[in-house]
Amino acid sequence: MFASGGGSNLQAICDHLDALGAAAPADLVLVVSDRKDAVALERARKRRVAAEWAPRDDPQAVIEVLETHEVGCIALAGYLRLVPARVIAAFRGRIVNVHPALLPAFGGPGMYGARVHEAVLRAGARITGPTVHFVNERYDEGAIIAQWPVPVREEDTPASLARRVLAAEHRLYPRCVAALCAGALTLGDDGRVHGADAFAFDTAPAVA
């Protein structure tokens, strides 16, 4: 996993894999961060998972660390840097991200953290929610895998909205990551996603 910050999604993925036990399709083998002080690195160390700092202007460092740990799939969780193009190319269809709004709205460069929820409130949107998507060379533009709706309430603030969207992320993202690692979720050469119906919101439990 790649993370720049708190790593609550990282924790949710670990918890999900633990809950699956012997049926877990993957192990978390490596956490990469562009920030030495990322809480996500702390979480990894506590779990005895390799935790590596990779400076953002050094794609070769990222590639070397991925090769050393024989990484199969990558999940970004609050990673605020563009992943080097060589990594994207090497992991096409095996790298995913979660974004805290319904893409293609409220995404793109600079749209992260509270800014996303402020923009949702400013726009007067009535529904928001997490988007899980494959990662390509551009911020938030890869093929969409899953989206769950979170209603926007009249009394919402960016902080209250962020909390409810994050809670939905914690339920949706680990399931998508597990399916990716199990080979049940794939990206076709034509750019189409296969296996995503399993996460359709109308068959999933209520999230908000």
- Choose which of 6, 25, 108, 195 interacts with ligand GRF (CB under 6 A): 6
Residue type, 137: E
Site for ligand GRF in 72-111 (CB under 6 A): 77-78, 98-100
- Spot the catalytic one: 16, 99, 170, 194: 99
Helices (DSSP H) in the chain: which residue ranges? 8-20, 39-46, 59-68, 85-90, 114-123, 158-182
Contact positions with ligand GRF (CB under 6 A) in 153-172: 166, 169
* Closest to ligand GRF by CB, 62 or 98: 98
Query: Is residue 14 near ligand GRF by the rule CB under 6 A?
Result: no
- Is 99 in the active site? yes
Residue 5 or residue 84: which is nearer to ligand GRF going by CB?
A: 5
As measured in angstroms, the least distance from the Cβ of 26 to ligand GRF is: 18
For ligand GRF, the closer CB: 100 or 174:
100
Kindly state the number of chain residues that form the binding site for ligand GRF, as judged by CB under 6 A. Answer: 14
| Rounded CA separation 15/157 (Å) | 29
Ramachandran class of 45: left when φ > 0, alpha when ψ lies in -120 to 50, beta otherwise: alpha
Half-sphere CA count of 56, side-chain side, radius 13 A: 11
Out of 3, 73, 132, 179, the residue judged to bind ligand GRF by CB under 6 A: 3
- Kindly state the tokens that stand for 109: 């460069």
The yes or no reply on residue 149 touching ligand GRF (CB under 6 A) is no
The per-type count for the chain, helices as H runs and strands as E runs, is: 6, 10
Q: How far is CA 47 from CA 31, 51, 65, in A?
A: 11, 10, 18
The catalytic residues are 99
| Footprint of ligand GRF (CB under 6 A) | 3, 5-10, 77-78, 98-100, 166, 169
